[in-house]
Amino acid sequence: MPKYVMWGNYCEDVLEKRAPYRQAHLDGLTAQKERGVLVTIGPTKDLAQVFGIYDAPDEATVRQLVEADPYWQNGIWTSYEVKEWIQAF
């Protein structure tokens, strides 16, 4: 199955603004991880961006997962892009 990378941006004051949505966000990511579609995801140290790796059948699946996430739906993630990734090693 192809792999995809997702880079996204966080809103300003992310720590405060994410609080009401954090548990639903984490629960969704846990379910994706258990299904094997999410390899890894997390913020950059400065909390400006998010990076994720997905093992999905196509880009549309990754976009659907991102856009269904409470962080996207509530403006915590403000933009994102998805690229198919070739894992060399």
Torsion sign over Cα 70, 72, 75, 77:
positive
In tens, the pLDDT along 40-66 reads 999 999 999 999 999 999 999 999 999
Q: How far apart are CA 1 and CA 88, in angstroms?
A: 14
Give the span between the Cα atoms of 59 and 65, in whole angstroms: 10
Share of the chain above pLDDT 70, in %: 100
Look at residue 82 and tell me whether its pLDDT is greater than 90. Answer: yes
pTM of the model: 0.94
Q: How distant, in Å, are the alpha carbons of 1, 33, 84, 88, 89 from that of 50?
A: 23, 16, 16, 22, 22
| Residue 43: strand pairing partners | 50
The pLDDT value recorded for residue 46 is 97
Q: How far apart are CA 48 and CA 30, in angstroms?
A: 22
